[in-house]
Structure 1
Amino acid sequence: MSLTLAEARARAAAVSHVAYDLAFDLTRPERGDYGLRATVAFACREDETFLELVGAREVSLVLDGRPVEPDYDGARLRLRGLAGPGSAGEHEVVVTARLPYVTDGDGMHTFTDPADGARYVCAYVGMDVAQKVFPCFDQNDLKAPFTVRASTDQGVTVLGNGRASRDGEDGDVVHWSFTTTPPLPPAMFVVGAGPWHTRAWEHAGLPFAWHCRASLAAELDRDIDELQATTNACFDHYAGLFEEPMPFDSYEQAFVPGQNWGALETPGCVTYRDELLPRGRTTDRLRANRATTIAHEMAHMWFGDLVTMTWWEDTWLQESFADYMGYRVAEDAAGHAGRLVAFETTRKVNAYNADARRSTHPVAPLADDVPDVDAAATNFDMISYAKGNAALRQLVVWLGDETFLAGVNRYLSRHRFGNTVLADFVAALDAASDRDAVAWAQAWLRSTGFDTVHVRRDEDGVPVLRRAGTRPHRLWVAAYDDDLSPVGGELVDLADDEPVRLDALAGRVVLPNARSDTYAQVALDDRSASAFADGLPRLADPLARAVVWGSWFAGVRTGALGAEDYLGLVARHLPRETEPMIVTSVVNRTLTSVLATRVPADAAPAAVARLAEAFDEGLAAAGDDELRLAFVEGLAATTRDAGRLRRWLDADAADGVAWYAALRWSVVARLAAIGEADAAFVEAERRRDGTVDGELGAARALAARPGADAKAAAWAAATEPDVSNRRFQWVMRGLWDVEQAAVLAPYVDRYLAAAPGLAERGQAFAQAVGGAFPAVHLDAAQLAAVEQALAGVSSTILRRDWEDELDDRR
C-alpha cells in the first residue's frame, strides 16, 4: 500500500518526537527470517495513527505497557486509543516480530557467497523499503534518532549507522550495539552482518573504514591506498566548502552484495554495489567513476542526511546536488580530470532523452504532482539526477561560485537535521545574491523540456545565436579555424528571444556550450556541422568533442541523423578518438540504444560487423592500454572472430592487455551468441570462476546462445518462481540480441504477456522487468502490441518503463 501525500501530511501534523530502539536477532540466517524487537517512542496529537511494517509474522504489540491485539494487515500496524485531539500525549510501542530475508535487495537482503560459502545479511532500504525491515513511520519528515542492537553468530562483524561495539557473548551468539544516531529519516537506516574484511583508519578525528566480502579481501587490499586517499581528499574538500561540520560520528563504506542502487548514502556506513570492486584490472575509467560515486555519496551526508526533503517532489534537493558535487569533487579533490567529458557523453545525454518523453517532469515538480510513493519511485531518474546536476552547474555559472556556496551554506546551517522544500533553498540563494533566484528557480526547476541554441550565419558569415525556449543561459561559445584549432570564443548570455550576433567570430567554426556550462541542445550552422563531421579528431579539447558527440546522439534520437549516417560517423571518427571515456560512451550508446531502436533487424548483422571493424581499427591505433581496453570492450561485443576470442580467453588478456573478470565473461557471452560456445564450455568457465560473478556471467552466456532450445531454456530460467532479480537481469541480458531477431520474435510476445505479473513481485523486481524490455528492433506491429499490453500493467514502475521505450523507439 503506497503512502499518499495526504496521509504523510496528516501523520506529520499529528506525530512528533519519534525515537527508535531496535534489537535484531541475525543469528542463523539460513532459517530464512530474523527476529526483531522494536520500541518506538513518539508523541501524537490524534487518537490514532499507523506504523508501516511489511510481511511480518508472529507480530505482538505492547502499547504504553499494555499488551494489545495487533491490528495488522500485513502492511500497516494501526495504533488506536492515543491522545485526543489538541493534546500531545507521549507513547511507547513495543513490537516483536519475525520478518523474512529477501534476495532482491529490497529489505534485509541475504546472500551466500559461492566463493567460500560465507553468509551475509544487510538491510538495504531507501524509499518505501525501511518498513520491510522494521516498524516505522516511513516518511522523510518524521526523522528520529536510532538506537540499535544486534545479535549474530560467532565469526561475524556488524555494520551500521553508528559506531559498533561488541558487548559480549552468550554461547555461540555475539551481542553488538551501535552509538545512537542523530535524527535520520527511516530510509537512511542500515545494519549488516557477515565475515567482512575491513581496512580501518582515523582521519580528522573520526573513524573511517572500508569493508567488503571476505572473498574480495585481495581486491580491497589492492585498492585500499587509492580508496583511502580518495575518501580523505573528498572529506577534506567538503570540510573546506561547507561551514557545517560532518554531522555523523563515523564514516565507513562497504562494498556489499545485492545492492540495487549504485550506492546508498546511509550515514555512518555508505553501501556500494560490490561490482565497484572488480576482480582483475581496475581501469582508470572505473576508478574515476568510483571516485565520482564516493564524492556523490559523501555529499549526501549534507544534502539528504543532514538536511532532508520533506516529500518526494523535492528529490532534486538531494540527488541533483549530490550528482553535481560528485563530478565536481572527484575532479577538484580526488584528481580525476575530465569528469565533465564522462557526464556530457553519458548522464547528460540520458537527461535529454528523458526530457523528450511523455514521462518528463520538472526537476522540482509541485508536491501535488507526486501524490504517492509509487509515483515518486519513477522520479529517481535522469531528470532528478543529471538534468538537476546540469541546472546547478548553470546556476553556478550564472551566480558565481562564491555566491552559490554562500547560499548553500546558509541553507545547510538554517535547516540542519530538518526537512526542507524548494522555497527554503531559493530563500537561501536570494539572501546571498543580488540576482533573482526566485525567477531562476521558476524558469529552470518548475518547467519541463530543454531549450535549443540555434546557430545561423548572416550574409557576412557572422554567427548569430538564437534561443528556442524560455530559460536564461550563460554559456561559452568556442571558436576554431578551418583546421579546428582553437582561436578564442565568447561568454554569451541568452536571456530572451533576441538573437545575439558574434561579430568577432565571423567566418569561424563555432561550438556553443563547448564547456558544458548549461543544459541545452545545440543546433549547429551548416559550416560548423560540416567541419566537425569531416574532422572531429582534430578538435583537441575532449570536452568539446564530447559536446559534438552529444549533438550526434540527439540527432539520432530525433531522426535528424539517420542510423546509417551515424554509423558512418562512428566508423570514421571513433578509431581516431584518444579519450577512453568517449570511446566507452559511444560504444555503449551505439550497442545498447542505436542498434536496438534505429537499425532494422535485417540490417543489424551488417551494422554489427561494421562496428567491429571500427573497434578493431581503433584497437590497432590506440597508444595506451586504457584506450586499447575501451576498444576491446566494443570488439568483445561485436566481433565474429571466434579464434581471436578464444585466444583472449586462453591468455586471460586481450591482445596483451590485462583485463577484468566481467570482460572475460563478455567474451564468453559473445562466443555463445555466435554459436561457438556450448553449455559444457560455459559450465567449465563457471567452475573456473567460482564466484557470484561467474554464476551470473554463465546465466547470461547460456541465454545468449542462438538456438531455439537455448532460448526456451533461458526463458524458463528467467521466469522461475523464485528467481532473484539479479539473476533475472543477467538471463534477460543474454536473451536479447539484435542479430537473433528471428528466433527471438516469439519472446517479445511472451515478455509482454508475462511482465505485468512479474512486476508485481515488488519494486526491485519491477525495475528489473522494465529494464529487460526487448533489446531488439521492434516493427510497427510489435510496437502496437506494447501499446496494447500497457492496458494490463498495474505497476507504476513498469508502465513508466514501457512508455519510455515506446517514446524512444518512435
Structure 2
Amino acid sequence: MPGENLTRAEAVERAGVVSVESYEIALDLTTGPETFASATTVRFTATEGASTFVDLVAPSVRSVVLNGRELDPAAVFADSRITLDGLAADNELVVVADCGYTNTGEGLHRFVDPVDGEVYLYTQFEVPDARRVFACFEQPDLKATFQFTVTAPAAWQVVSNEPTPEPVPVPARASDGSEGSEGDVAIWSFEPTGRISTYITALVAGPYAVVRSSLTSSDGREIPLGAFCRKSLSAHFDADYIFEKTRQGFEFYESTFGVPYPFTKYDQLFVPEYNMGAMENAGCVTFTESYVFRSKVTDAVRERRVVTILHELAHMWFGDLVTMKWWNDLWLNESFAEYVSTLATAEATEWEAAWTTFSAMEKSWAYKQDQLPSTHPIVAEIKDLEDVQVNFDGITYAKGASVLKQLVAWVGREAFISGVSAYFGKHAWGNTELPDLLTELEATSGRDLKAWSKLWLETAGVNTLRPVIETDSHGRIMSFVVEQTAPAEWRTIRPHRLGIGFYSLSDAGELVRTHFVEVDVDGPRTDVKELVELDRPALVLLNDEDLAYAKIRLDASSLRVALEHLADIADPLARSLVWGSVWDSVRDGEVPASEYVRLVLGGIARETESTTLRTTLNQMVLAAKQYVAPSARTATLAEVGDTLWALVGEAEAGSDTQFQLVKFFAHVASTPAHVETLSGLLDGSVGLDGLTLDTDLRWELLEGLVLNGAAGDQEIDEMLAADNTATGRQAAARARAAKPTVEGKLAALSSVVDADVPNAIIRNTGLGFVHVNDPAALADVVQPYLDAVLKVWNERSYHIAEEVIEGFYPAPLASAELRDATAAWLDTNAEAPPALRRLVVESLAGTDRALKAQSTDA
C-alpha cells in the first residue's frame, strides 16, 4: 500500500490522465477541537474511461460522489487515496470528510495560547499536506483555481489567498433545530484564486491582531497589505517596519523583473509553533512568530528576518506564478528566491552587507551539506515525496543560490535579468522544467548553457581551489597557478569566474586590498598570467568578492598572516571568506581545532558583522566541544568561557557584540566561576552597562545554570510561572532537557518519543538534550535513541520524525562508540526507507568528521 507517499512515476501517469479546472472547498471550523468538516468539489477533465485517484488524509470520509454516482467510502478510500474508476471526459467529484487538526505544523495546525486560552489556526501544505485539509490532486503540475468558504467564530480573522470578504453571520439554532437569532458564528466566502498549485493555498484563522496598509503596484493597482500576529504578542509587533521592507521589496522586484506583482493582495502572518522560517503561500505568507521580537535579538536575527521577508516575496514570482513541474526542480523556487532576496536586501534596504551575511551563513551551510554522503545535484533526482522532504537542504537553497551568483557573473547581470523576465512572461501561471529557464537565458546571453548546466546543476560535490605561487629572491611573482581538485566521490572539475585579491598591511596595521583581478578558472591548473611580475603581498585571497562556489585554501604564507592578522582585514566580506576558509580547513582535518579556537578567541571581538560573529562563535563552540582532542575538552571549554567573559567586559556597552558574547558565555559556562557569574547576572548582583536582562536572556542564563547542575526543576518552574507563555513553555522544555545526568537525558528522549507533544516543544527539547559540557551523560542514551528511530519514523508525521531523529542524535559524544553503534544500526536496517537512512547517514558523517578532526588535534 502507498501509505502517504506518492512517486514521481505515479504523478506523471496521473498528469497524463487528468487536467484540473477548479476546487470549491467548504471548511467548518466550529465542530470541535479534534476535527473539522471538509467538503470539496473538484471539477476536472480526464481520459474517458480511465482510472486515477485523489489524495486525502483524514480520520473519516463521510461521502464520495463522482459525477452524481455515490461511491462507498469504505471501498474506495484507503491510506491517503480515494480511487476513482470509470472517469468521464468532464468530471465533478464531491468529497465530504472529517479532517484532523494537527500539533505538528503540517496540514491545519491548532494552537491554544496559554496566556488567554485563545485558539489559533494556520495551514502549512508544502510538500504534500493540502490533502490533510481537503481532497485534492496533490502534485505541483496539476494547477487549478481554488475557492474557499469557511465557517468559523465570528470574532476571528479569517485569511486565505484572496482578499478576505465580509463575513455573513450564521443564525443560531434553537434546541428544536429551528433558526433563532444571529449567533457567534459566521461564514466567509472567498473569491476564486488564479491557477495555482495545491501546496501554496492557505488558510489562517483565529483572533489574530492585524495592522493594515497598502501599496501601489507598478501597473497602478492598489495592493492591500496586512500584518498579523497573536493578540498576546501584539505589543511587540513592529508592523510598520515589516511594511517598509515589503514596499522596498515590491519596488525592487517589479522594476528588476519587469513583471507586476501577480496576485490581488499581500498578507504576512506570524504564526505559532512553525516548523520553518516562512512559507510562500500566494498572497498569504506565513512566518515563524519568533520574528515578533518580545525580547532583544541580535542584529543577525534582525537582518535574517528582512532576508526572509524578501525571500518569500520573491516566491510570488519564483514558484507561485511560475512553478516547477515536479520536485526535482525545487531549486527553481528556492535557489532563485535565496539569490534575489539577498540581492534585494543588499541593494534595496539598509542591510547593505547582505552578501557578507550570505557568505558567512548560507555558503557555510552549502559547503557542509555538499560534503555529506547524501549530497546531490542541485537538480536532484526526486523519486517520491519522501525524497523531496529531505531535500529542503543546503544544496537546494544555498548552493543553488551560490551557483546562480556565479552564473550572473558569467553571463552578465543584464542578460540574466532579461532572461528571467522573459521566463516569467512565457510561463506565467504554468509549470516549468530546467530547460525552460535555460532557453530564455541562452537567448538573452548568447551563451550555450547546456555544458554549464551539466557541470553545475546536474552533478554534485564542491571543488577546492588553492593558489600555487612561485617567487624570485626579491619576492616578485614568477608563476601564479590556481589548482582545482574534486573529491573522489564527485570528480567533476568545473569552470569558475572568481576574483583574486592581494592584501598588504597598511601603516595603521590593517590588511587592505592593494590589487584585484577577475579571472576564469577551468581545469586542474589555471595559469594566471595577469599576476606574474607583481610583488607578492602579505595575503593572497582566492575568490575575493565571493563570486565562485568552491572551497578556498590559503597558501602557507597567507595562512600564517591570516592566523596572526585575521581581525585586521578591513573588508568584512574578505574577512568572512578567510574565517570560512580556516574553518573549512579545520573540518577537513588540515588545521588543529585547538588552534582555531585560539584564533577565534583572539580576533572575534573585533568582528563588525553580526552574522559573521554569530556563525564563527557557533563554529568555535562546535570545535571546542567535538573537534578538539577529548583529553583537552574540559580545559578548552574553561578557556573559552573565561575568554568570552573577559571579552564581555571589553565590549562596548549595549552593543550587539556585548549581547552575543553574553549569550555564548551562558551557553558554554562550565566552571564554578562561570556558574557564579551566571548566578550573579540572574539575581542582579553582577551588572553590565548596556545589558538589559529581559525574559529570553533570563531563560538562557538559567539554562546555563541547569547545564552545570546549579539549578533544576524548582528554578525552571518558578521562571515558567512568571512566563507562562508559548515561548516560556518552549524555553522550560529546553532547560529541563539540559540537565547533565543520564536520567535527565533519558527523560527528555522519552518525553518526545512516548508522548504526543507539539512540534515546538520537541524542537526545544532536542536543543536542550544535546546541550552538554560533559558528553558522558549521553553515552547510555545511544541505544535507546537508536531503538526509537524506526518507531518514530513509522508512527509520526515526517516533520516530527525529522525533529526527533536529527535533533536527538547524541552528536556531542563524538566517539568511536557512537560511530560504531550508528553504523551497526544502518547495517541492521538496510531495508529502511531511503529518506530515513539519509537522516542517519548524515548524522554518522558528522561523527566521522569530528573523529578525523580530533586525530588532527591530538
Q: Structure 2: state its 5+ residue gaps.
A: 171-182, 217-221, 487-492, 849-858
**What is aligned with 1:217?**
234
TM-superposed deviation, 1:389: 0.6
Which 10-residue stretch deviates more, 490-499 or 294-303? 490-499
1:347 maps to 2:383: no
Instruction: Describe how 1:356-755 pairs up with structure 2 within 5 A.
Output: 356-365=371-380, 369-460=381-472, 461=475, 462=477, 463-468=480-485, 470-483=493-506, 484-496=511-523, 497-501=525-529, 502-503=531-532, 505-508=534-537, 509-591=539-621, 593-623=622-652, 625-639=655-669, 640=671, 641-651=674-684, 656-658=690-692, 661-755=695-789
> Secondary structure at 1:513's aligned position in 2?
strand
The TM-score, its normalising length taken from structure 2, stands at 0.90
8 A contact 1:63–1:91 mirrored in 2: yes
1:801 partner amino acid: L
1:450 partner amino acid: V
8 A contact 1:579–1:627 mirrored in 2: no
8 A contact 2:28–2:36 mirrored in 1: yes
> Secondary structure at 1:261's aligned position in 2?
coil
1:536 partner amino acid: L
TM-superposed deviation, 1:94: 0.6
2:36 partner amino acid: Y
TM-superposed deviation, 1:656: 3.3
CA offsets 1:193-233 (integer angstroms, 9 cap, x no match): 1000000111111100110011111111xx12211110111
Instruction: Describe how 1:137-148 pairs up with structure 2 within 5 A.
Output: 137-148=137-148
8 A contact 1:737–1:775 mirrored in 2: no
1:164 partner amino acid: T
1:785 maps to 2:821: yes
Q: Structure 1: state its 5+ residue gaps.
A: 84-88
Residues in 1 aligned to 2:215 and 2:682: alpha-carbon distance in whole angstroms: 43
8 A contact 1:37–1:95 mirrored in 2: yes
1:775 partner amino acid: A
Which 10-residue stretch deviates more, 766-775 or 18-27? 766-775
1:411 partner amino acid: Y
TM-superposed deviation, 1:179: 2.1
Residues in 1 aligned to 2:20 and 2:361: alpha-carbon distance in whole angstroms: 43
8 A contact 1:601–1:741 mirrored in 2: no
**Segments of 4+ in structure 1 off by > 4 A?**
651-655
TM-superposed deviation, 1:692: 0.7
TM-superposed deviation, 1:602: 4.6
Residues in 2 aligned to 1:274 and 1:437: alpha-carbon distance in whole angstroms: 41
8 A contact 1:474–1:517 mirrored in 2: yes
8 A contact 1:118–1:195 mirrored in 2: yes
Change (3 A) 1:698 1:67: same
**What is aligned with 1:86?**
none
**What is aligned with 1:23?**
26
2:645 partner amino acid: D
1:777 partner amino acid: L
Change (3 A) 1:58 1:76: closer
Change (3 A) 1:659 1:77: farther
2:90 partner amino acid: E
Which 10-residue stretch deviates more, 410-419 or 160-169? 160-169
**What is aligned with 2:855?**
none
8 A contact 2:766–2:804 mirrored in 1: no
TM-superposed deviation, 1:596: 4.8
CA offsets 1:455-504 (integer angstroms, 9 cap, x no match): 11113342432333522111111111145222121111113443224225
8 A contact 1:297–1:322 mirrored in 2: yes
TM-superposed deviation, 1:659: 5.8
8 A contact 2:793–2:836 mirrored in 1: yes
TM-superposed deviation, 1:794: 2.9
1:471 partner amino acid: R
Residues in 1 aligned to 2:553 and 2:345: alpha-carbon distance in whole angstroms: 31
**What is aligned with 1:53?**
56
Which 10-residue stretch deviates more, 662-671 or 100-109? 662-671
Residues in 2 aligned to 1:536 and 1:293: alpha-carbon distance in whole angstroms: 30
Residues in 1 aligned to 2:390 and 2:739: alpha-carbon distance in whole angstroms: 34
CA offsets 1:92-129 (integer angstroms, 9 cap, x no match): 01111101110000111000011111111111110111
The TM-score, its normalising length taken from structure 1, stands at 0.96
Instruction: Describe how 1:293-312 pairs up with structure 2 within 5 A.
Output: 293-312=308-327
Cα RMSD (Å) of the superposition? Answer: 1.8
TM-superposed deviation, 1:801: 1.9
**What is aligned with 2:247?**
232
CA offsets 1:24-53 (integer angstroms, 9 cap, x no match): 0011542x1000110011001152110010
TM-superposed deviation, 1:425: 0.6
CA offsets 1:228-263 (integer angstroms, 9 cap, x no match): 110111111111011221111000000001221210
Length, aligned pairs only: 798
CA offsets 1:394-433 (integer angstroms, 9 cap, x no match): 1111111111100111111110011111101100001101
1:370 partner amino acid: I
Instruction: Describe how 1:206-355 pairs up with structure 2 within 5 A.
Output: 206-220=223-237, 223-355=238-370
Residues in 2 aligned to 1:322 and 1:504: alpha-carbon distance in whole angstroms: 43
Residue number among 72, 81, 87 corresponding to 1:82 in the alignment:
87
TM-superposed deviation, 1:642: 2.6
